[in-house]
Amino acid sequence: MFSSEWIAPNDLRGNMHITFKKRFSVTDFETALIRITADDFYKLYVNGAYVGEGPAPSYPFRYRFNEYYIGDYLKEGANTVEVQVYYQGLKNRVWVSGDGKAGMIADIFVDGKYRLGTDGSWEYAVDNTFVGGEKLGYDTAYTENRDFTVHPDREKKVKATEPDYAFDSEAFPSVSVENISVEPSMNGNVYLYDFGREYVGTPIVKAYSETDGGEVVLHYAEETDENGNPRFDMRCGCRYEEKCRLRKGENLIRQYDYKGFRYMEIIAGSGVTVCDAAVAVRHFPFPKNAQEIITENENLKAVFKLCSDTLHYGIQESLIDCPTREKAQYLGDAYISGFAHFYLTGDSRLLKKALYDFADSVRFSGKFLSVAPCSYEQRIADYELLYPDFLLKYYTLTGDGETLAELAPVCDAILDEYARYENESGLLENVDAAWNLVDWPGNMRDGYEYNPDGEGELGLHCVLNAYYIFATVSVQRIHAVLNKDCADKAAGLIEAFNGAFFNRETGLYTDCKDGSHSSLHSNMLPVAFGFCTAETVINFLLEKGMKCSVYTAYFYLRALCLSGLENEALELIASEGENSWMNMIKEGATATFEAWGRDAKRNTSLFHPWATAPILILNEYFKDMLR
């Protein structure tokens, strides 16, 4: 894939910013292209102009790369390529980092022919204006304190080697980046910027200092407090405060890692003037002709816009759960946001990437993971058992039979892994290898009798087995598409499920075998997964209402629609109840929350694309309302 060498610094530490540079000359050219990737991440500049950034998070055996046409950035004669590479060094949900692997590789083609690339002639310098910071969220990122008065690091020759990576078969799209600026409100030496909605991006600030050592403090926030001040110690667990020491004259503070925020506050020290400020907004490419809703219902319009905007600005190189605390691609989150994004855009590349990312987690860790690709290993049973339907649904929407055939064995392996926990009736019991989530946050489980966060024997419970049946049915359907023999195991599982959990006296499913409690979750999932049509259960769902999280709301609404209650589902999407998208909007949301309200969870993220179920429901059951 690459003709050049992998280049790296001669020394490496965590939270390290490295600038690789190459000077070269070109003459009489018409087109030019660069193919590039780096570990963990890069930002590319040609002759001082920003070109792009990447790559998408990747395992080293399917490493993603990007391509850019750079003819407009080059000039006849001398040129400079500069690549700012970041090695984080943390084992978290963001990148496959903390492995001591860093550096970059690039090929440059001029008029269709390889012209030059990374090799031992390149030089690098450590950007020592980054002077450390505190860890954010779940060790997701560092704050970026800066000191522009330090002497620049000297340029050194790189270490060049054969790349220890296997690259993906084709270039992956890089994020779109656009600088957005607004006028600040002023209160003495405090500049407050309200960008009008929450974005994902990096701050860019120009500040003038009368002397060496002038200071600015940067705060970023998703919301303001009761006094109108930015809440930079955010409820999601990130404390967005950064301090910069300036040199005399004009300083350009271009921060590196992205954050999720709406408000930026700049506190200027003595002798410092803030000249300009912007946010470099980033997101996966989003078409101008994205799907729209046709309705006179103002609430439906508002909810659709909230969800569409969330997906537009929240989705990055992966289907991340949120841009603040985790920045992680969770399988369950991606199941919701990925298909919603596909319906809006018609672009299936993120779905396909996610399917391979989760499949590749087995090669990386020896077990199928629920968050990938990254160096953090986590398993969630409910999410893993969604993978077969994720793949089947992707095939149904795209017709990509090659991917279906290649990844079908992964689905078989998932079922084989969980079959180890089958009891004599075939149901899963005491599944202790993965978290039995039920719902999240925990206060949205409607009193579910089994406590997945507690201690003791896990036992035999309803929700996990509903997911197991759903996975089994999906695998059987995949085998049918591929014309492969497959026993009808699902029929026996459904019979055993009904025998274990259906209470004939109440006509409802109980949470546990021989249990006394019937939660919303135990009853909505059998309906949503297509193996229950009992009138008593459906009436119970209507009576209960949407007493679940914004994540499982998709399955609740789907259960209603499959039961012929589409109008009731539509009313709930537009409702103004406590558990509603309109409640988020009333609380000032410009992106969907992790929970129904700001205070509905202890550490609520206010930008969570997993909460965009209305896009899926509208596309699956109300297509005539969309264009």
Give 321's DSSP letter. S
Separation CA 172–CA 603 (nearest Å)? 33
Give the amino acid at 324. T
Burial code (b: 16+ CB inside 10 Å, e: under 16) for 375-386 equals bbbbbbbbbbbb
pLDDT digits (tens, 9 = 90+) for 511-521: 999 899 999 99
Residue 451: pLDDT over 80: no
Q: What is the distance of C-alpha 358 from the center of its chain?
A: 13
Cα separations in angstroms, 139 against 135, 237, 342, 358, 421: 5, 10, 30, 22, 33
Angle value at C-alpha 592, between 334 and 602, nearest 5 degrees: 95
Helix/strand/coil percent split, the chain, to 5? 30, 25, 45
What sign has the CA pseudo-torsion 411, 413, 416, 420?
Answer: negative
Average of per-residue pLDDT across 26-44: 96
pLDDT digits (tens, 9 = 90+) for 114-162: 999 999 999 999 999 999 899 999 999 999 999 999 999 999 999 999 9
Of 297, 263, 473, the closest CA to residue 386 belongs to: 473
Average of per-residue pLDDT across 459-478: 97
Counting Cα atoms < 13 Å in the Cβ hemisphere of 309 gives: 17
Q: At what angle do helices 401-419 and 349-365 cross, to 10 degrees?
A: 40
Of 504, 502, 440, 413, the closest CA to residue 465 belongs to: 502
Average of per-residue pLDDT across 390-412: 98
Task: Enumerate residues 6+ apart whose C-beta is below 8 A from 568.
Answer: 542, 560
pLDDT digits (tens, 9 = 90+) for 229-273: 999 999 999 999 999 999 999 999 999 999 999 999 999 999 999
By the 8 A CB rule, do 415 and 386 touch?
no
- Name the one residue in this structure whose structure tokens are 């309302």: 625
pLDDT digits (tens, 9 = 90+) for 78-90: 999 999 999 999 9
Separation CA 250–CA 581 (nearest Å)? 45
Residue 576: pLDDT over 80: yes
Separation CA 62–CA 278 (nearest Å)? 35
Counting Cα atoms < 13 Å in the Cβ hemisphere of 456 gives: 6
The model's confidence at residue 528, banded by pLDDT at 50, 70 and 90, is: very high
Residue 25: pLDDT over 80: yes
Rounded to the nearest integer, the mean pLDDT of the chain is 97
Could you write out the three-class secondary structure of 563-602? CCCHHHHHHHHHCCCCCCHHHHHHCCCCCCCCCCCCCCCC
Of 349, 348, 347, 343, the closest CA to residue 291 belongs to: 343
Of 256, 249, 8, the closest CA to residue 133 belongs to: 256
The model's confidence at residue 335, banded by pLDDT at 50, 70 and 90, is: very high
Output the pLDDT for position 454.
63
Structure tokens at 206: 């120009």
Residue 39: pLDDT over 90: yes
Helices and strands in the chain: count of H runs, count of E runs: 14, 25
Output the pLDDT for position 1.
87
Separation CA 137–CA 326 (nearest Å)? 7
Output the pLDDT for position 459.
87
Q: For the chain, what is the radius of gyration of the CA atoms?
A: 26
pLDDT digits (tens, 9 = 90+) for 56-112: 999 999 999 999 999 999 999 999 999 999 999 999 999 999 999 999 999 999 999
Strand pairing class (159-161; 241-245): unpaired
Separation CA 556–CA 543 (nearest Å)? 12
